[in-house]
Amino acid sequence: MSLAVERTTTPSSLADCYQGALVLFTPPLIGGTPPVGAIKASRWRNPALLEQDMQRYAARYPGGDKRAIASLWSKWHFIALTVPTLAAHLLLDRDLPVALDDVYVLFNDDGCTRQLWLPEEGTHLHGQSTHKRFAKLIEHHWAPLIERLAALSGVAPRVFWSNAGGYLHYYVNELAGHPDVNPGALQAARALLESRELGGKRNPLFEPVRTYTPKGSDEVKRVRKLCCLRYLLDEFSVCSNCPLEGCDRQARRSR
């Protein structure tokens, strides 16, 4: 459901933002004492602890390809970060404290990120550059975590960045139709996805999703820049927006 369809109430807190396309997601817990069972995400700077925390999810796929397992596990975590961060940026013009050292994580029964705990709702943004606006998310959470995930799984870092970027692309477009979207924040979020450089360096989130029109069709199709590798598990085929769609499954596995 598009957020542009119906306006309910003007959001004044992060929890208020979870309407429309976000209604099925669970907002982060804010402030107070982290709940029992929550783990601090900063422990994932230690590869052994990261592997330990991924074991419950990996147990769902006995003998499954470690690369696909790490990629799918990352997607659960990335979406749990992307939704509240974008909601806060685009609807409240606030910068959430989502650095790896500030976030606590609650897992679901499968061992994936279910909910976050944050110390507070962050600070107001006042026209910062795209780089500064998203530094906590990109430089202080995704970058160190992706470095560890890549080393642990053998998956190229760009695959994890593609996972993260795919969610950014989708929810920037979803939230763009919200009646309370902040135009400056929306422009900055779109610039994040459209700029080859970020803070003077290569932008790993540049164009995570691309469009094309298949031959003989008028349909505009969206595809990810990179495959998330889930096809390496017997339980999955390719996604509907996979760049490898239409290729032979066994041929892909032999790469």
Question: What pLDDT is stored for residue 212 in this prediction?
Answer: 72
Closest CA to 145 of 94, 85, 100, 79: 100
- The full DSSP string for the chain is --TTS-------STGGG--GGGTTSPPPEESSSPPTT-EEGGGGGSHHHHHHHHHHHHTTSTT--HHHHHHHHHHHHHHHHHHHHHHIIIII-EE---STTT-EEEE-TTSSEEEEEESS--EE--S--HHHHTHHHIIIIIHHHHHHHHHHH---HHHHHHHHHHHHHHHHHHHTT-TT--HHHHHHHHHHHH-SEETTEE-TTSSSEEEE--TT----EEEESS---GGGSTT----TT-TTTTS-HHHHHT-
Question: What pLDDT is stored for residue 9 in this prediction?
Answer: 61
Closest CA to 122 of 103, 146, 144, 142: 103
Ordered per-residue pLDDT tens for the chain, 255 residues: 344 434 456 688 999 999 888 888 999 999 999 999 999 999 999 999 999 999 999 999 999 999 999 999 999 999 999 999 999 999 999 999 999 999 999 999 999 999 999 999 999 988 788 999 999 999 999 999 999 999 999 999 999 999 999 999 999 999 998 988 999 999 999 999 999 999 899 999 999 988 777 677 777 777 888 888 888 998 887 777 778 755 444 444 444
**Overall residue count recorded for the chain in this entry:** 255
Pairing of strands 201-202, 221-224: unpaired
126: Cα within 13 Å, side-chain hemisphere: 2
**Beta partners for residue 40, in sequence order:** 104
- φ, ψ for residue 241, nearest 5 deg: -110, 25
The pTM (predicted TM-score) of the whole model is 0.89
Pairing of strands 113-118, 104-107: antiparallel
Question: What pLDDT is stored for residue 248 in this prediction?
Answer: 42
Question: What pLDDT is stored for residue 250 in this prediction?
Answer: 46
- CA-atom Rg of the chain in angstroms: 18
Question: What pLDDT is stored for residue 87 in this prediction?
Answer: 96
Helix axes 66-87 and 157-175, enclosed angle (nearest 10): 30
| Angle, CA 157 vertex, CA 105 and CA 224 arms, to 5° | 90
Question: What pLDDT is stored for residue 159 in this prediction?
Answer: 96
Cα–Cα distance for residue pair 188/81, rounded to 1 Å: 18
